[in-house]
Amino acid sequence: MNNLQACIFDMDGVLVSTEKYHFLAWKELAESLGFTIDEVFNEQLKGVSRAVCIDLILQHGGIDVSADEKQHLSDKKNTKYLKYISTISRNDVLPGVVSLLEELRKHGIKTAVGSASKNAPFLLEKLELTTFFDVLVDGTQISQPKPHPEVFLKGAEKMAVQPQNCIVFEDAQSGVQAAKSAGMYCVGIGNPAILSEADMCVNGVYEISYLDLAIL
């Protein structure tokens, strides 16, 4: 990559682990419709918008409903999810996140959150991370879900940084694909077999420092 100027972080699975709560809420919704989903299927739901998730789940269950009913089911799931995460606090920030954000700020590297979640502002506030980020691009600001690169390109644009000078941190396959389509370097958080398109993979943000990023 060229000169590092900015880092863009996905939310779920990178800054905080709320994936299990998404899974539980989607699983409850599926069961209320008469079928179930497992953790293997759940991989398809990571990193994509709520609208895409509901389409995938209904397709999985062989159910066809109206657009209004889809919205109702989507809202129902989100209510369950918000109930699950209502007690989240700074203690739930994943290891290494705060120290890396502090390092990046110290060295003048701009930071952004690029998330499909419409709950990103709420989560950042609960986690006491809002002040660590220069820019937030969430599901309310984009029209194309990951793997489309819109969320990351918009983040770079808002920071006035060229895509090739950005590093993205992602834990979902669709997010990695979005980062690469945006022309950005991507650090995958998680299983290298699933995130094979990432430029590098680590188990968590705690394995990365500013110096590691500066020499890429």
Q: Which residues are catalytic?
A: 10, 12
DSSP three-state, residue 203: coil
Helix-strand-coil split of the chain, %, nearest 5: 50, 15, 40
> Quick one: CA dihedral 216, 105, 120, 3, positive or negative?
negative
User: Which string of b and e fits 100-129 if b means at least 16 CB within 10 Å?
Assistant: bbebbbeeebbbbbbbbbebbeebbebbeb
DSSP structural state of residue 160: T
Dihedrals phi, psi of 3, to nearest 5 degrees: -60, 125
> Quick one: CA dihedral 11, 12, 17, 21, positive or negative?
positive
DSSP three-state, residue 189: strand
